[in-house]
């Protein structure tokens, strides 16, 4: 007589455990980089960190880590300098500033904190647009942990030439400055996660859509 032995499907608890384990092995970083209607740059990258890792992180800490990282990542070719009148990204030991910012502006609310570096000039900025552009660092509580984000907005890079850049200028920007900025910020997010004690072995880039625009 043949005996049939049933096999029970995996329990929901086991499936949930596997999902949690997989999530702990992968750090997701969301990205978007576009030229908006006036041909200024909007770029944002963010990642959600576990609360036990980033619960004590502040926006000011984030800025300090970022400035130190820029110097190390570029092998001191770019040397951020913080002074009473602002922040300069100096080229080597020269007086040439690639990008200049006014002094840091810090804000805090119930959900977290932010730090804003407003662009005020520099070699990489269109001369007529030196009063535009900002780099925003934000740390905020969300349901799944702590969201850490870097956002560049209203930035007018010299390489685009003006409000109506040619196809060639857009592609040159896309292959140079845009690609470098994306690499720098994604790598910064990954290193920050690990420096805070994260154990993810892989990075997954998620395409985000925060604003309308032409992808770069």
What CATH number did the domain enclosing 168 receive? 3.30.530
What is the pLDDT at residue 13?
A: 53
Q: Find out whether 117 and 104 touch, Cβ atoms under 8 Å.
A: yes
Contact residues for 135 (Cβ-Cβ < 8 A; gap 6+) = 101, 116, 117, 119, 150, 151, 152
- The whole domain housing 88 covers 28-215
Count how many domains the chain has: 1
pTM metric for this prediction: 0.86
Distance CA 180, CA 173 (A): 10
Phi/psi at 115 (5° precision): -140, 130
Phi/psi at 213 (5° precision): 165, 180
Contact residues for 105 (Cβ-Cβ < 8 A; gap 6+) = 115, 116, 117, 118
Residue 136 counted as domain residue: yes
Does the pLDDT of residue 5 top 50, yes or no? no
Does the pLDDT of residue 18 top 60, yes or no? no
Residue 177 counted as domain residue: yes
The predicted-structure confidence for 130-156, as pLDDT tens digits, reads as follows 989 999 999 999 999 999 999 999 999
Mean of all residue pLDDT scores within the chain:
89
Nearest to 77 by CA among 67, 65, 90: 90
Residue 18 counted as domain residue: no
Residue 4 counted as domain residue: no
């Amino acid at each position: 007589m043949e005996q049939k032995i049933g096999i029970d499907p995996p329990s929901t608890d086991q499936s949930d455990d596997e999902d949690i384990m997989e999530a702990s092995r992968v750090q997701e970083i969301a990205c978007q980089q576009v030229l908006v209607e006036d041909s200024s740059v909007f770029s944002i990258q963010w990642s959600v960190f576990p609360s036990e890792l980033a619960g004590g992180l502040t926006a000011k800490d984030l800025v300090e880590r970022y400035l130190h990282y820029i110097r190390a990542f570029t092998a001191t070719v770019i040397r951020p300098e913080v002074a009473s009148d602002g922040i300069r990204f100096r080229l080597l030991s020269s007086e040439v500033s690639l990008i200049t910012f006014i002094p840091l502006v810090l804000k805090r609310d119930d959900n977290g904190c932010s730090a804003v570096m407003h662009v005020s000039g520099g070699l990489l900025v269109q001369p007529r647009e030196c009063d535009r552009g900002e780099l925003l660092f934000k740390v905020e509580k969300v349901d799944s942990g702590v969201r850490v984000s870097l956002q560049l907005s209203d930035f007018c890079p010299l390489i685009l030439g003006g409000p109506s850049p040619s196809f060639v200028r857009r592609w040159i920007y896309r292959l140079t400055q845009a690609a470098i900025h994306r690499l720098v910020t994604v790598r910064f997010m990954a290193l920050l996660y690990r420096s805070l004690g994260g154990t993810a072995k892989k990075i997954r880039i998620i395409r985000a859509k925060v604003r309308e625009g032409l992808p770069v």
